[in-house]
Chain A
Amino acid sequence: MDTVKEIKKDFFINMGPQHPSTHGVLRIVLNVEGEKVLSSETVLGYAHRGVEKMAESKTYIQMMPVMDRFDYVSSMLFEWGYVGALEKALGVKVPERAEYIRVIMGELNRIASHLLWVGAFLLDLGAFTPFLWVFDARERIMDMFEEVTGQRMTNNYFRIGGVKDDLTPQFFKMLQDFLKMIRERMKDTEDLIESIIFLERVKDIGFISKQDVIDYGLTGPVARGSGFSYDLRKNEPYSVYDKIDFEIPVGEKGDCYDRYKVRMKEVIQSVRIVEQALNLLPDGPYTEKSPKVVKLPEGEYYNAVETSRGLLGVYIVSDGSTKPARFKLRDPAFSNLSILDKLLPGNKISDVVAILGSIDVVIPEIDR
């Protein structure tokens, strides 16, 4: 016992791929000293299916339902991005009624996605009740989707030149009921959530600066939480968003609380959009006649939409056949997740789940 061995104080914790709060099969290797995180490494690949390669062996129409399987909580917004790229390529004009239906469905999907996030985020922080409060509201959206599209989650509702089915009278009734209750429910939930413990947990945690937003290519509520006002619906309006009055909520400091607040405000803004779109909804056809066999002219096509997590870019290279020569997604959650390893060091283990939760990742979208 003449030499004293150097005592190693740090050790590794494997958070995931099977862990309650990594929201799927994400693996984070944490190097910790007691409760403090020294460094982290995010490991992907547990849900990799090679969908981008798969797309090259599928026709454009066969690819449509696959789009739902990326971000399964805001699937319609992903369909929108893909269908928009095809429409650009084919030069199809979408009827106005279809555009408004798309806006209504897209925004409802955004609300559903944000509600799920709020619930899951609070679950990560240890509060169970808000999860079920928002799920009651989300359930109504799911019922509306089922009424119109026949599916609750992977809807496969968008078509080239319009949507699959027209909105039903029952849908309008359900939507009115939903719009009546959602504001009050959001207020109640906010009152329940924002206790002093919650504020202690999320304030001044996981700062993202404006420069980080640009450096890491962050988009969506994560970017807007840092005061970076960028929303495709406002900055490069597509569809009929230029005819609708809404605001882009932004945060100030860029901590977890700001990201939470931005999402809560976005829900209310989406409700406003749905209300306006409902008033503006014109009569007319809900879909254009689309070709039976879709062949894109040779060239490169790109379309971007704002999903609930940020900017989704769909990039298609066509060689003139019925299948894409190259298919690539620029998805929001992948870029947003890239900043995680920068945010974690120096924080406590409990903050890891708060920061990861506030970034809002959906694994099948990241691991495609």
Chain B
Amino acid sequence: MEALSGSIFFNIILSIIGVMVVFTINALFAVWLERKVSAHIQLRLGPMEVGFHGAIQSAADGIKLIGKEIITPKGVDKKLFPLAPYLVFFPSLLMFVVIPFSDKLQVQDLNIGLLYFFSISCIATIGIFMAGWASNNKYSLMGAVRSIAQSIAYEIPIILSILGVIIIAQSLKLSDIVAKQNIWYIVIQPVAFIVYIIAAIAELNRTPFDIPEAESELVAGFHTEYSGMRFAIFFMAEYTNMFLVAAMATTLFLGGWRGPILPPVVWFFIKTYAIVFLIIWVRWAFPRLRPDQLMNFCWKFLLPLALLNLLITTFLLKLF
């Protein structure tokens, strides 16, 4: 063990285990949280039977989904159809690599961490399009096309909003950004935070921007033909992405793991789940936008706002 602890392989294995644990527990917890929060918004109780207030309901659901037959419908692309869920799922795992859970708990503190995070997140879109294409179903295809258009549109405001943070912090390294936040960046960059959250919800394909999987229009969008564990993988990827987006918001705007008294990890999770709660809250309060309205909102409002914010930030930074 002594000899191993310093080796790179040991670190890799430890990191993989750590990421998988966080990923699994988050997926179970986030699903449970969503069900509970939505239930209380809707004058219901939500899951109550399995465990304390339905605490292990999502685990039970997961076991059920594992037990289901994997159905490959007739007429689908035999190679791409099974591959697509993993292409959506793996980027989520890879994005964990740069998240600073605390000052010490970070898989790899890349000096281009921020760039890495957002480039990896783009890969999932290819998976979604692959799923839509391979399903050989018009609803799936329409969902996939919508998803592509949406991702391209909303990636830009996200990047522009975090550029403000990068300029202030003078670094792409996430640990540096956290270290420099003696004042939370949400105070210095409130507009960027708002733009980031809105664009992030759109990236996550959640209401009011859930047009790729609009169930009242496109049945289930790109995952119409998926069932069992393959569907569960899409589902888990969605909740993992929600956590990751919130974790990134915490790191960039809410001072990351920094906080008094409590240990850093606890602070990190408190802040992250506060953002997750916000995203859930938005979902259950609003109807869905129409695709063209969504595009208008992005190109005509969000993008100019992000640019303006960037302009003002750079101007003020030069001034003082």
Contacts and interface: CB of A to CB of B under 8 A. Distances in A.
A and B associate in one complex: yes
B42 A126 contact: no
B216 interface: yes
A53 interface: no
Main secondary structure of the interface of A (DSSP, over half): helix
A351 interface: yes
A122 B145 CA distance: 24
A128 B288 contact: no
A126 B207 contact: yes
Contact of B215 (A20, A35, A193): A20
B287 interface: yes
A350 B211 contact: yes
Interface string A163-202: 0000000000000000000000000000011010110110
A133 interface: yes
Contact of A133 (B42, B207, B289, B292): B42
Interface in B251-304: 284-293
Contacts of A200: 289-290, 293
Interface residues of B, number: 29
Nearest to A22: B216
B291 A348 contact: yes
A125 B42 contact: no
Contact of A129 (B42, B139, B288): B42
A42 B317 CA distance: 61
A126 B294 CA distance: 14
Interface residues of A, number: 32
B217 A21 contact: yes
Nearest to A354: B290
Contacts, number: 85
Contacts of A136: 43
A128 B288 CA distance: 10
Contacts of A129: 38, 41-42, 284-285
Instruction: Name, among B43, B44, B287, B289, the residue most crowded by chain A CB atoms within 10 Å (CB to CB).
Output: B287
Contact of B42 (A132, A198, A352): A132
Interface string B94-138: 000000000000000000000000000000000000000000001
B292 A197 contact: no
Interface in B187-233: 207-208, 210-211, 214-219
21 contacts: A13-B139, A13-B142, A20-B215, A35-B291, A35-B292, A124-B216, A125-B288, A126-B216, A127-B285, A127-B287, A129-B38, A131-B42, A136-B43, A192-B285, A195-B286, A198-B286, A348-B290, A348-B291, A349-B218, A350-B288, A353-B216
Given A125-B288, A126-B216, A195-B287, 10 more contacts: A123-B216, A127-B207, A127-B285, A131-B42, A132-B44, A200-B289, A200-B290, A348-B292, A350-B214, A350-B291
